[in-house]
Amino acid sequence: MTLRAGINDIASQLGVSVDGQFDFTVRASVADETLDKLAMLINFVIEAARRALSELKDRNARLAELDHMKSVFLANITHELRTPLALILGPTEKWLSSGDLTEEQHRDLDVVMRNARSLLKTVNDLLDVSKLEAGKLSPEYSRVDLSKVVRLTCSLFEGIARERNVDYTVRVPDALVAEIDPEMIQRVLLNLLSNAFKFGALGGKIACVLETVGNNALLQVQDKGPGIPIEMRERIFEPFIQVESEVTRRHGGTGLGLAIVKEFVELHRGSIQETTPVGGGALFTVTLPLKARTDVAVRSALSQDFGQTGLSSALLEELKVPKRRAQAARAANMERGTILVVEDNPDMNQFIVETLCDEYDVISAFDGEEGLEKTLEQKPDLVLSDIMMPKVGGEEMVLAIRRRPELSGIGIILLTAKADEEVRVRLLRAGAQDFVTKPFLREEVKARVRNIMSGKRTRDLLKRELQSSQEDLEELAQEVSLRRHDLEKSVEEARAARDEVQRLLQLRDEFISIAGHELKTPLTPLCLQRHMIQKIMQSTDLPTDVKEQKLEGYLEMSKRQIDTLTKLVEALLDVSQIRLGRFCVKPETNVDLFNLVREVVERYRPQWEMAHSPVNIELLGESPKGQWDSLRMEQVISNLLTNAIKYGRGKPIELTVSSDRSGARISVRDFGSGISAADQARIFNRFERAGSMSSFGGLGLGLYITRQIVAAHAGTIGIESEVGKGATFTIDLPLQHVS
Amino acid sequence: MIGLIQKILLDLVEEQAGPEAVKDVKRAAGVPLDRIFRIGEVYSDAEWQNLFSAACRVLGPDEDRVMELYADAFGRDALVRFSKWFEMSANSREFLERQITIHNVFASGVVDPNSRKAVVDKFQIETFDDKIVTHYRSPNKLCSLYKALARWMFTHYEDDAVIDETKCMHRGDEECEIHVIWKNLRRSSETDRAATSRAER
């Protein structure tokens, strides 16, 4: 056998699998290792499929078992619920018809009645579903006038149509005999009409049409509501499936209505389908055979009444536009606190309002959108809200509230009928403070609200206190800020003053040191000279003429030292006078400036000659004669000249005097090291000097005194200098003395 | 025992001692000389024991040494015959984690469901961060083959690992419990993926 034949043989063996059975293995009919390997791996895949199928079967069996258990449980529980419900409805109905009730009692019992009926409808739906699933429900056929069934059932909705301003049309033949279970078909129509009114818009159109097509009755219910999305068309007939979102659905219900409709129709061997009519909305078309199967019994019940039943009452009650009763009035006392109740069920809303209005001001909203609007508008202390509501659900509303910082202090309690832990945790994380599970006791709601309100009040109080403290603090901070500014300024000034004081102290210390040194300098030779004079005087060896000659020399030297000392002391005295404001000049008339300059220059000849700094005097024009203190002017020229000698050693000095009608100008120029711009600004201050003390000596008072003398003559003194190129001091003096 | 095991043993005998030795082994084990072992078919466990004993007499007296030779032959054969499984496994750990499934592939040709289940139930594996623990139950008591094959994998993948058999049916335990502990894996799927990604870029 060839390899091809071997593969073909394996393929043939695999053909068995078309039946979905995998309980086989394949074997290579040719002894070939490659074929063996192929067979082995195919067997492995088959084994995997076999195992998966087996697991699936086991799981399905388990699911079927669970489904059966659920159906049995549902049937049992609904039966159990019907008994207490009957015992609620019966006595309540009796009391309501007695006429012995107060208005409030009547209103409360009406709420009980309405909600008990609604509950009964839900229980009945569940019971029907469980029976249908268990295959325990079959039609009880009667020969009836289907037109009458439809007409009477449709008439039940006329009031609702008027209330909602709906264009409601019913078109049925005068009579149409059909073999049906009239209760089931009435139920079918009730559910379809109920849906049409639920989802059809206010002021819209609803039509119900019955006609005969061949051997079938065609029953159509059409509305102009939002319609059914295409993807939901098949699914809406499955139990528990609803078109609207779980948390934002506008209408209540269990999602069983259309499932029951479909089952009831199919039990009649009929069919139902949903289509979108031209112009939008939903169109449900039910096709029912007019004749029952020949093997079933058909009763004659042409006279049967198809009016209002408990079920239709409950359905109609659900459709009524919710009555929003007046909410509890807000008291003026703000200490009570305000609670916003957001609940779409008007009865529940009213019940909660009445539960809380003794202790708080309560306002109502009936969906999440209105709840958010009122929260923004009224800023309540607490929002007590349902989760499943039309338009905007409770969850979305909570998130919207928590997104707004201005609503951050508002407490939130959520009401839920669902034991959905995941939603609870999510909403608690999103900012809800607490939950109340329906059904609840009045006292439970009160206690939970009280807890939150108490916490809120405490927080508000603390917040107010904190705010007040904060305002004080802010004020204080502002004051501190202002003071701080002043303080900083003062500190800055003080710091500058301190620096100045330190600088002056340093200058003073330097000055004391300099003054000591300057005073000591002439004293040392003076002492020596005194000792020498004494020695010469006591000497007996020396001839008298030699003695006199030597004495004369030493006396001359002593005189120079004394002059120096005198000048130093005079400078100190001048400074002292200036500081005390007692410095003054004594102007004389016709002081000849040329003479004055020549005398001073001559007087200092030994010094400038010793310094190798020849002084070139340039006296321009006629000698100015003015009203000056000649001694002080001598002092000025001396100071400038000795400075030039001191700083321009080895280089010539130029001294120029000129005049015009208004005044005279003296300028002294040296070619020394010059003075930097920074030093120029300070050298006229006390104790300042251009060069270092160690290099040039002096008290640092000369220029200071010079400027004071010039100023006292109403003159000015200026300096022009460049480092390395010498300095020129220029004095301008008026000729006339100005006091 | 599936035929692949016997086939590789006889191929090894032929490789080491020549075709005549194969006949001797078959003869000693009571296996017909014309028998060709098919890789996916199941053969008698007792026959395997006889074949292995006979092969040991030909290949050498040291049973452990023969097992090492056999594991080497088995590894080389598998590397050619089932190269995809080696490609799928980046290292010895990944291969040994697949070992149970691979073993089940060999058993999938067993027609009788109970026999098939008996083969499938031979191995159970527990995985930990640094090791796997294999529980082995079989009347063939071939834990030494498992260990020899595991060592061959370490060498093949160049991984650093040790084996500790804490329980052994040869010592009277009801099962063999073999701990394979890795100290270092030369390659991992992640590094392979990263390398592939780099190459693709």
In contact, B52 and B20? CB cutoff 8 Å: no
- Measured in whole angstroms, how far is the alpha carbon of residue B115 from the centre of its chain? 20
Interface touch A37/B104, C-beta < 8 Å: no
Q: For A103-157, where are the alpha helices, taking DSSP H only?
A: 103-133, 146-155
Residue A1's pLDDT band, with cuts at 50, 70 and 90, is low
Instruction: State the amino acid at position A633 in one-letter form.
Output: M
Give the pLDDT confidence score for residue A332 in this predicted structure.
46
Specify the residue for token string 């599936």: B2
Q: From the candidates A14, A33, A40, A41, which should be mutated to test the interface with B, based on the most B CB atoms within 10 A?
A: A40
Residues of B in contact with A27 (CB under 8 A): 40-41, 109
- Interface check for B116 against chain A (CB to CB < 8 A): the answer is yes
Give per-10-residue mean pLDDT for chain B (201 aa).
Answer: 91 94 94 90 88 90 87 94 91 93 82 77 91 93 93 95 96 96 85 65 53
Q: Across the interface, which of A23, A36, A47 has its CB nearest the CB of B40? A: A36
Torsion angles phi and psi, residue A193, rounded to 5: -65, -40
What is the SS3 assignment for B162?
strand
| Range from A19-23, A102-106, A447-451, A704-708 carrying the lowest mean pLDDT | A19-23
Can you read off the two tokens belonging to residue A616?
């070139």
Residue A248's pLDDT band, with cuts at 50, 70 and 90, is very low
Distant-in-sequence contacts of A65-68, Cβ < 8 A, 24+ apart: A67/A133
pLDDT at A331 over 80: no
Residue A483's pLDDT band, with cuts at 50, 70 and 90, is confident
A291 exposed, middle or buried (CB, 10 Å; 0-12, 13-18, 19+)? middle
Give the pLDDT confidence score for residue A501 in this predicted structure.
81
CA–CA min distance A25, chain B (Å): 6
- Interface check for A46 against chain B (CB to CB < 8 A): the answer is yes
Average pLDDT value for residue range A545-556: 84
- Interface check for B111 against chain A (CB to CB < 8 A): the answer is yes
| Range from A49-53, A213-217, A313-317, B95-99 carrying the lowest mean pLDDT | A313-317
Give the pLDDT confidence score for residue A32 in this predicted structure.
87
Q: Name the CATH superfamily, with its identifier, for domain B82-201.
A: H-NOX domain (3.90.1520.10)
- Interface check for A32 against chain B (CB to CB < 8 A): the answer is no
* DSSP single-letter state for residue A321: P
- Say whether B82-201 and B1-81 share the same fold: yes
**Average predicted confidence (pLDDT) for chain A:** 83
CA–CA min distance B61, chain A (Å): 31
Residue A326's pLDDT band, with cuts at 50, 70 and 90, is very low
- Interface check for A28 against chain B (CB to CB < 8 A): the answer is yes
Average pLDDT value for residue range A91-115: 84
| Range from A59-73, A122-136, A394-408, A715-729 carrying the lowest mean pLDDT | A122-136
Average pLDDT value for residue range A332-341: 76
CB atoms within 10 A of CB A227: 19
Interface touch A37/B39, C-beta < 8 Å: yes
| Smallest CA–CA distance from A34 into chain B, residue | B81
Interface touch A28/B40, C-beta < 8 Å: yes
Q: Where along chain B do its domains lie?
A: 1-81, 82-201
Give the pLDDT confidence score for residue A477 in this predicted structure.
76
Give the pLDDT confidence score for residue A251 in this predicted structure.
58
| Smallest CA–CA distance from A41 into chain B, residue | B105
pLDDT digits (tens, 9 = 90+) for A513-537: 666 766 777 777 778 778 888 888 8
Give the pLDDT confidence score for residue A4 in this predicted structure.
85
Helix (H) or strand (E) holding A691: none
Give the pLDDT confidence score for residue A406 in this predicted structure.
87
- The span from the CA of A205 to the CA of A194, in Å, is 14
CA–CA min distance B150, chain A (Å): 23
Per the DSSP assignment, residues forming a β-bridge with A223 are A206, A282
Express as a percent the part of chain A with pLDDT over 90: 21
| Range from A152-156, A328-332, B111-115 carrying the lowest mean pLDDT | A328-332
Give the pLDDT confidence score for residue B199 in this predicted structure.
61
How far the first Cα of chain B sits from its last, in Å, is: 48
Interface touch B110/A25, C-beta < 8 Å: yes
Residues of A in contact with B11 (CB under 8 A): none
Give the pLDDT confidence score for residue B62 in this predicted structure.
84
Q: How many Cβ pairs within 8 Å bridge chains A and B?
A: 42
pLDDT digits (tens, 9 = 90+) for A177-196: 999 998 899 989 998 998 88
Average pLDDT value for residue range A683-704: 69
What is the SS3 assignment for A510?
helix
Give the pLDDT confidence score for residue B14 in this predicted structure.
95
Higher pLDDT, B108 or A725: A725
Residues of B in contact with A28 (CB under 8 A): 38, 40
In contact, B40 and B3? CB cutoff 8 Å: yes
Q: From the candidates A43, A45, A46, A53, which should be mutated to test the interface with B, based on the most B CB atoms within 10 A?
A: A43
Q: From the candidates B2, B39, B101, which should be mutated to test the interface with A, based on the most A CB atoms within 10 A?
A: B39
Give the pLDDT confidence score for residue A393 in this predicted structure.
84
- The span from the CA of A115 to the CA of A327, in Å, is 21
Give the pLDDT confidence score for residue A685 in this predicted structure.
81
Give the pLDDT confidence score for residue A216 in this predicted structure.
94
Give the pLDDT confidence score for residue A247 in this predicted structure.
45
Domain spanning B1-81: which CATH class is it, in words?
Answer: alpha beta
Torsion angles phi and psi, residue A478, rounded to 5: -65, -45
Q: Across the interface, which of A31, A33, A40 has its CB nearest the CB of B109? A: A40
Interface touch B36/A31, C-beta < 8 Å: yes
Interface touch A47/B38, C-beta < 8 Å: no
| Smallest CA–CA distance from B110 into chain A, residue | A25
pLDDT digits (tens, 9 = 90+) for A491-508: 888 888 888 888 777 777
In contact, B9 and B52? CB cutoff 8 Å: yes
Give the pLDDT confidence score for residue A334 in this predicted structure.
55
- Interface check for A41 against chain B (CB to CB < 8 A): the answer is yes
